[in-house]
Amino acid sequence: MTQERKSLIRRFFGGLWALLTWLRTSLANLFFLLFIAIAIVMFSADRGAGIPERAALVVDPSGRVVEQLSIVDPLAQLLGGAEGQDRETLLKDILDAIVHARDDQRIGAIVLATDALKGAGITKTRDIAAALEAFRSTGRKIIAIGDSYSQDQYLLAAQADEIWMHPMGMVDLSGYAAYRNYYGDALEKLKIDLHVFRSGTFKSAFEFMERGNMSDADRIATGSLLQEIWSAYTGVVTVRRKLPAEAVDHYANGIDAIFARHGGDAGAAAMEYGFVDSLMTRGEMDATLAEMVGEDDEGHFSAVNFRDYLSAVRPVFELDGERGEAVVGVIVASGMILDGKQPAGNVGGDSLAALVREAARDDSVKALVLRIDSPGGSGFASEIIREALLEFRATGKPLVASMGSVAASGGYWIAAPADEIWASATTLTGSIGVLSAFPSIARGLNELGINNDGLGTTSIAGGMDLSRPLSPQLEAVLRMANEHTYRRFVDIVADGRKMSPEKVEEVAQGRAWTGTQAQANGLVDQLGNLEQALAAAARLAKLDSYDTRYIEEPASWSSQLLARLSLSPDTLLGKALSGAHMLYLPPEPLTLLGRLQDPRSQYAICTVCAVF
């Protein structure tokens, strides 16, 4: 081949490669520009979406109401949509929208549309109720609408002045329950041994893998919680609806006779007991609301969704403290406490500790509120967080713990060092106890003719192999280590609460308490919501005025955009009732162990708390 021919071939492939490179770069730039264009359209559309001169603010929480949104893959959500996924609604968004609406004369009423709500719990609903009460004090109405009402949906609806329901709807008030399957006998037949080491008489996690029924201690503790929370629920409903104190219990316990009296008509039964004010079709609801607040261009009632409303009334970028005022920081600890770095929706030991240290270094942050909504988890991760909180306190800045729906076990561990602990009356807290669990499948394998054999350099080498029996030596070590961690937990609480270890022991033992009970037991200082905890932190820091700043790991700009693109608002008047009132079922124990991944396999977690 001549040199000229080789040169020609090189030039051809070189040109082809250059063309491909140009195409690749051009496509990348095109997609980038398209991305920017979509972002501008999305953000400007939200900002430009005008609020009618008179409209109803529609508060339609979707999925579970949470203290902190879980991080999901936004691209997968964008491509796959929200089908089959339970979405979440941020409690702060609901509260902020209602607070803004209180002073906005364009908002003529609030409509609570509850059909898409999967769960909020009594504590978060009470926070929403307080904001609604402030709005109601301006003389404007609050209307609840729904096809049907689950127990959790009805608790929110009960905060309205009027409750409307579809004629074919039903109000499901059946009470709280804590039933579960017990696998102890099945595991014995399968010859699987689950070694559980627990410190605390009432620490019942994994009990259902050891027994064939509920233990007496668990029955006492869980029964007490069920009754306390149910009494709080019925109290809220009957007071708001001006019903006899026993109305909800009578309805639930006599539901068969009530339905028989109305020929199975659930709507008529709800009307008889005063749980709803009117039975209306969706069209009738729309027309009645239009009479109250006026019509839009399409003939429906004039409405603005609370998410769109927030986009219009909030600045695009909220720069807390920009006026030069002192800042009270808020760090949210929401979800299971896990080791290492974790995304929002779980509490990472390293992740949250880093945020606490960030607050300690920030001179503008004069005090910190740790907002906890967690049933606990890894004992080691809880301690890593506590150590960071002690470092924060060493700076001389006040630390206040504010408990949401749940702040139990590991959730209480991280609250213990606070200067003050605030909880709601219905917060589930305490559960001061520790447990470890190690499964062994050696007997089951032997039954199948599979035998484990070999040798090690020490008597405990290979002792944690699931296919080998747990030796008495290791069993003793693990039991003592678990008891040591429990004693450390008790001492941590005693030191933080200025109580004797003996006094803490009386209210520990793994037993969960409501906020009211915890205050009586010395585990909580005051009953109140997050706003009151913020005021307490400002008082301790001697601040006359302050801004509030949420200290959190910022989501990437692209993630925020994709999340906005994937958001498709639910229809206003038309989600069918789905799901029961049981808010959450704890994961199976082996799955739970796999998630927690504690370096020492020691867990400070309240599984019964998840039922509420």
CA distances for 344 relative to 93, 347, 429, 575, angstroms = 16, 7, 22, 28
Sequential DSSP letters for 104-136: -TTEEEEEEE-TTEEE-HHHHHHHHHHHHHHHH
Distance CA 418, CA 221 (A): 27
Q: Which amino acid, residue 310?
A: L
> In sequence order, which ranges of 294-425 are alpha helices (DSSP H)?
306-313, 349-361, 379-394, 410-413
E strands in 375-511: 376-378, 399-408, 420-423, 428-430, 434-440
Using DSSP's 3-state secondary structure scheme, residue 409 falls into coil
- Alpha-helix runs per DSSP H in 326-451: 349-361, 379-394, 410-413, 442-447
For residues 358 and 387, give the distance between their C-alpha atoms in angstroms, rounded to a whole number.
14
Residues 6+ positions from 76 with CB-CB distance below 8 Å: none
Residue pointed to by tokens 């692209």: 558
Long-range contacts of 263-271 (CB under 8 A, 24+ apart): 266/168, 266/169, 266/170, 266/171, 267/165, 267/166, 267/167, 267/168, 267/169, 267/170, 269/171, 270/165, 270/169, 270/170, 270/171
**Beta pairing, strands 434-440 & 193-199:** antiparallel
Query: What whole-number distance in Å separates Cα of residue 436 and Cα of residue 593?
Result: 9
Taking the C-alpha atoms of residue 468 and residue 506, their distance in angstroms, rounded to an integer, is 38
Supply angle C-alpha 358, 313, 68, rounded to 5.
40
**Residue of 392, 433, 387 lying closest to 410 (CA atoms):** 433
Return the active site residues: 203, 409
Structural tokens at position 450: 């599979």
Question: Among residues 552, 550, 558, 553, which one has the least CA distance to residue 42?
Answer: 558
Sign of CA dihedral 533, 348, 375, 482: negative
Inter-CA distances, 442 with 375, 448, 452, 468, 588, Å:
32, 10, 8, 5, 21
Handedness of CA 387, 392, 396, 399 (dihedral sign): negative
Among the listed residues 185, 228, 178, the one whose alpha carbon sits nearest the alpha carbon of residue 205:
178
DSSP result, 274-288:
TS-SEE--HHHHHHH
What are all long-range contacts of 184-191, with beta carbons under 8 Å and residues at least 24 apart?
Answer: 184/208, 184/209, 184/210, 184/211, 184/212, 185/212, 190/444, 191/441, 191/443, 191/444, 191/446, 191/447
